C-alpha cells in the first residue's frame, strides 16, 4: 500500500513539473472492505468452494470504471485511480454517480450541457476544500447533495458511470493540503458493477468527449508519464 502511494505522489510531482497544462484532479476508487461478509459466507455449507473460485479470479472491481469531467473521458486504472486536468478554480467538486446522462445541444454537434435522466438512480456528493484558521489546516468536507431541480450537471462535476448502490462515499472531513492538484478523498466500490454494460453505453457517447493523451519520456533510470489535454 505504501509503495502505491509513493508512486502516485511521485507521478503527480513529475506531471506537474514536466508539462501539465493544468493542475490535476485525482480520485482513487478502492474495493469496499468485505472481511465481515466473507467471514459470514464461509460459515455456510457450500460457500467455501465458491469463495475460493472468486478468490482465484481476483478481478479488480475498481478498475475499468468510466468517468467524465469538463468534456474529458477517462477510465479508472488497475489501481482504481482516475485523473483529469483541473479546469476550474473553485475548490468545490460535485461527484455524480449514475448510469445515464443526456446531452442538450446548442446547435448541431455542439453540446450546451449535460442533464441527469429522470427516473435513473443517481447519487450526488459535494467535495468542498476548506481551511481551518485555528489549526491552519486544509481539509475536504464531503457531504451528500440533492439532485438539481433542473437536472443540469455542472461542467465542473465529475461523473462516474455506474449504479450508485455499488458505491460507498465516506462523508465528513479528510485532511489535505494547499495544493493546486485536487487529491480527493477515496471512495469505495462494491462487487456487482456492470463494467461491460457501462462501457457499451459510454462508447455510444464517446464521440462527444475529448480523450486524455499520454506521452512517455525516458530518463536515466525511469520513465516519466506526461498527460496532455
Retrieve residue 175's grid coordinates.
Answer: 485532511
Q: What letter does residue 206 receive in the DSSP assignment?
A: G
> From CA 226, how far away is CA 216, in angstroms rounded?
6
pLDDT of residue 215: 59
pTM of the model: 0.75
pLDDT band at 23 (very low <50, low <70, confident <90, very high): confident
In this model, does residue 14 exceed pLDDT 60? no
Q: What share of the chain is helix, strand, coil (3-state, %, to 5)?
A: 20, 40, 35
Q: Which of 168, 182, 175 is nearest to 26 (CA)?
A: 182
pLDDT band at 59 (very low <50, low <70, confident <90, very high): low
In this model, does residue 71 exceed pLDDT 50? yes
Grid cell 480520485 is found at: 27
pLDDT band at 4 (very low <50, low <70, confident <90, very high): very low
pLDDT tens-digit readout, 119-137: 999 999 999 999 999 999 9
List strands edge to edge, sheet with 110-116.
101-107, 110-116, 152-153
Retrieve residue 144's grid coordinates.
Answer: 451528500
Retrieve residue 72's grid coordinates.
Answer: 474529458
Cβ atoms of residues 92 and 127 within 8 Å: yes
pLDDT of residue 63: 92
> From CA 148, how far away is CA 151, in angstroms rounded?
5
List strands edge to edge, sheet with 137-145.
172-176, 137-145, 122-132, 92-98, 158-161, 66-69, 72-75, 210-211
pLDDT of residue 18: 41
pLDDT of residue 110: 76
Is the model more confident about 45 or about 34? 34
Q: Domain coordinates of the chain in residue numbers?
A: 2-228
pLDDT of residue 140: 97
Q: What b/e string do you get for 66-94 counting C-beta neighbours within 10 Å, with b at 16 or more?
A: bbbbbebbbebbeebbbbbbbbbeeeebb
pLDDT tens-digit readout, 186-200: 999 999 998 889 889
pLDDT tens-digit readout, 85-100: 999 999 999 999 999 9
Cβ atoms of residues 7 and 81 within 8 Å: no
pLDDT of residue 119: 95
pLDDT of residue 6: 44
Amino acid at each position: 500500500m505504501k509503495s502505491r502511494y509513493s508512486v502516485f505522489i511521485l507521478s503527480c510531482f513529475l506531471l506537474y513539473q514536466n508539462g501539465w497544462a493544468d493542475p490535476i484532479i485525482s480520485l482513487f476508487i478502492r474495493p469496499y472492505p468485505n472481511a465481515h461478509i466473507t467471514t459470514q459466507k464461509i460459515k455456510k455449507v457450500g460457500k467455501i468452494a465458491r469463495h475460493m473460485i472468486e478468490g482465484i479470479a481476483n478481478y479488480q472491481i475498481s478498475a475499468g470504471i468510466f468517468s467524465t469531467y469538463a468534456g474529458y473521458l477517462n477510465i479508472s486504472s488497475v489501481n482504481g485511480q482516475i485523473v483529469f486536468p483541473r479546469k476550474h478554480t473553485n475548490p468545490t467538486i460535485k461527484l455524480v454517480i449514475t448510469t445515464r446522462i443526456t446531452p442538450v445541444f446548442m446547435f448541431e454537434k455542439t453540446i450546451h450541457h449535460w442533464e441527469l435522466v429522470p427516473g435513473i438512480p443517481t447519487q450526488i456528493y459535494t467535495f468542498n476544500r476548506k481551511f481551518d484558521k485555528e489549526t491552519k489546516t486544509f481539509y475536504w468536507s464531503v457531504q451528500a447533495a440533492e439532485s438539481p431541480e433542473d437536472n443540469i450537471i455542472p461542467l465542473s462535476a465529475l461523473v462516474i458511470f455506474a449504479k450508485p448502490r455499488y458505491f460507498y462515499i465516506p462523508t465528513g472531513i479528510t485532511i489535505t493540503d494547499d495544493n493546486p492538484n485536487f487529491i480527493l478523498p477515496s471512495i469505495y466500490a462494491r462487487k456487482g458493477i456492470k463494467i461491460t454494460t457501462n462501457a457499451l453505453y459510454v462508447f455510444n457517447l464517446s464521440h462527444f468527449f475529448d480523450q486524455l493523451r499520454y506521452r512517455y519520456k525516458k530518463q536515466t533510470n525511469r520513465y516519466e508519464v506526461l498527460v496532455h489535454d
